[in-house]
């Protein structure tokens, strides 16, 4: 059964601090791994997408890593800002014929950045 597990479930940090969110997955056949940011009351927005051959990818202050051997990923947020407060969802994609990608979602890490 395809599963994506994230930790921690929730995290509170002070503005300006760094943090790392974790994601473990068992999804087959693996196509890519994505990190989404979901603000309260909005749909998820993609931060990074990594394929099997990519170990790291950055998007501004967000850096994602992928270890396809251990099936783990992390999302590192540098110099956090109040606007980073959101849920961060790890999503692993299995490629399906003629149907785009089948996504398996983690439960998300709810991050709160305090001043």
Partner 1 sequence: DTAVSQTPKYLVTQMGNDKSIKCEQNLGHDTMYWYKQDSKKFLKIMFSYNNKELIINETVPNRFSPKSPDKAHLNLHINSLELGDSAVYFCASTSSESSSYNEQFFGPGTRLTVL
Closest to partner 1 by CB, 14 vs 99, is: 99
Q: Which of 19, 21, 27, 32 binds partner 1 (CB under 8 A)?
A: 32
Identified binder of partner 1 from the candidate list 21, 27, 86, 103, rule CB under 8 A = 103
Write the DSSP string, 68-108.
TTTTEEEEEE-S--GGG-EEEEEEEEEE-TTS-EEEEE---
Q: Which stretch binds partner 1 (CB under 8 A): 14-22, 26-34, 56-64, 73-81?
A: 26-34
The CA distance from 12 to 100, in Å, is 36
# binding residues, partner 1 (CB under 8 A):
26
């Amino acid at each position: 059964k395809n599963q994506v597990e994230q930790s921690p479930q929730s995290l509170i940090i002070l503005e300006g601090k760094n943090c790392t969110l974790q994601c473990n997955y068992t999804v087959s056949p693996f196509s890519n791994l994505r990190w989404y940011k979901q603000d309260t009351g909005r749909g998820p927005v993609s931060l990074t997408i990594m394929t099997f051959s990519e170990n790291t990818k950055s998007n501004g202050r967000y850096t994602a890593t992928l270890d396809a051997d251990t099936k783990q990923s992390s999302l590192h947020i540098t110099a956090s800002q109040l606007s980073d407060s959101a849920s961060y969802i790890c999503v692993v994609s299995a490629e399906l014929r003629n149907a785009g990608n089948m996504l398996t979602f983690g439960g998300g890490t709810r991050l709160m950045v305090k001043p």
